[in-house]
Structure 1
Amino acid sequence: MTSTPLDRTLNASLIVAPVVYLIADVLYAVRGWDDPAAAVFHILGAVAYTVVVLRLVTLGSGRLAVALLLVGALGAAGNVAYGFNTIHVALGDTDLVDAGGAATIIKPLGLFFPLTLLLAVAVLRPRGPAGVAPLLLVAGLAWPVAHIANIGWLAVAVNLVLVAAFGAAARGPLRTMPPATAPVGHP
């Protein structure tokens, strides 16, 4: 199988994103949930997870791929927003999580990231190495518990699971599905 620079970049994101986010959550756990250095890694990890979504979309097909693309885009926006919120709090600004009005958009957007992880289960279960889907399921369910309640050790544990799951997926084999509209046996 030929590997293109795009394939290598998309596959590398499966390793880079969870490792960068692990660094963020280790910093949050050690230094507090208002640490600006953690927020920088948080934002970079959230952006890297956007590339993970693109990798997963290329593995899926049909409505699942569309759902993952849309939910993943919203999840990336929410995840990045929470990183910038941490920077605002570190600078003494208003915590958007506690603010009303337009600031309340951060809460529902933030929930799209763990939903993205749950959709990743549906994409990788038939296409990825054995064991990846259950790990992602656990991580997707534990993510909001760890991050909404600010439980540092659990956030780190969730990210360790994500490093293991996406690391295994990056080592493959990953099988793409034919487009949903293509007749069976035809490219």
Structure 2
Amino acid sequence: MRSVPGSPLDRLLTASLIVAPVLYLVADSLYAVSGWDDPTAAVFHILGTTFYTVVLLRVLTWTDGALAVALLIVGVLGVAGNVGYGFNTIHVSLGDTDLVDASGVAVLIKPLGLFFPLTLLLIAVALRGARAAWIVALVAVAALVWPVAHIANVGWLAVLVNVALVAAFGALAVTGAPVGRRAAVPVEATPAA
């Protein structure tokens, strides 16, 4: 997948690199202050995760081959799981059953949720060699620490993970298309014979 540099689509994809991590930083900051069952935090959580879908698309415009296929599949599953956790928080805040503690088909939320940090790790792999090493390292470390912070409900660590992602993805937004990757070129219409 490629986007035409400077097009509205390209600008939206790039803006997501700032919007998604900032929304998620707000979510985890609210969780850290108000608790992991805060419905307002859950709304920012769901919106942030939804915008991470667009981040996924941005990175896919810079990636191809088997890595792009893996990133797309893992990313879609990760977003589904992470959005599921956001809606679970809303349900818990309303006094409903916490899916994390439920059995049967509710256990689906657990493995799907782990696909989100795996998505971040694959994004780091996709950026390797085409971006500054510190950006790649920051995304990779955030991906590895993400499940520790969120499974153990360590608010300050979740906030720190998201600060790292704001810095890394913000740097990606500012620097433009990766070094060594070709940008899409619009296809010109062939004159009729």
The answer, yes or no, to whether TM exceeds 0.5 is: yes
RMSD over aligned CA atoms reads 1.3
Query: What is the CA–CA distance in structure 1 between the aligned matches of 2:120 and 2:129, rounded to whole Å?
Result: 15
Within 5 Å, give how 1:9-48 maps onto structure 2. Answer: 9-48=12-51
Report the counterpart of residue 163 of structure 1 in structure 2. Answer: 166
C-alpha deviations, 1:80-130, integer Å up to 9, x for none?
Answer: 000000000000000000000110000000000000000011111222234
Q: 1:2 to 1:110 in 2, by over 3 A?
A: closer
The TM-score with structure 2 as length reference comes to 0.89
Query: What is the CA–CA distance in structure 1 between the aligned matches of 2:5 and 2:78, rounded to whole Å?
Result: 31
Report the counterpart of residue 92 of structure 2 in structure 1. Answer: 89
Q: Which structure 1 residue ranges, 5 or more long, are not aligned?
A: 179-187
Identity of aligned pairs, percent?
A: 67
Q: Which structure 2 residue ranges, 5 or more long, are not aligned?
A: 183-193
Report the counterpart of residue 183 of structure 1 in structure 2. Answer: none
C-alpha deviations, 1:51-77, integer Å up to 9, x for none?
Answer: 000111111010001100010000000
Aligned residue identity for 1:102: V
Moved over 4 A (4+): none
Query: What is the CA–CA distance in structure 2 between the aligned matches of 1:92 and 1:20, rounded to whole Å?
Result: 25
Within 5 Å, give how 1:170-185 maps onto structure 2. Answer: 170-175=173-178, 177=181
Query: What is the CA–CA distance in structure 1 between the aligned matches of 2:32 and 2:10, rounded to whole Å?
Result: 34
Equivalent residue of 2:61, what SS? helix
Count of residues in correspondence between the two structures = 178
From 118, 129, 134, give the equivalent of 2:132.
129
The TM-score with structure 1 as length reference comes to 0.92
Report the counterpart of residue 142 of structure 2 in structure 1. Answer: 139
Equivalent residue of 1:9, what SS? helix
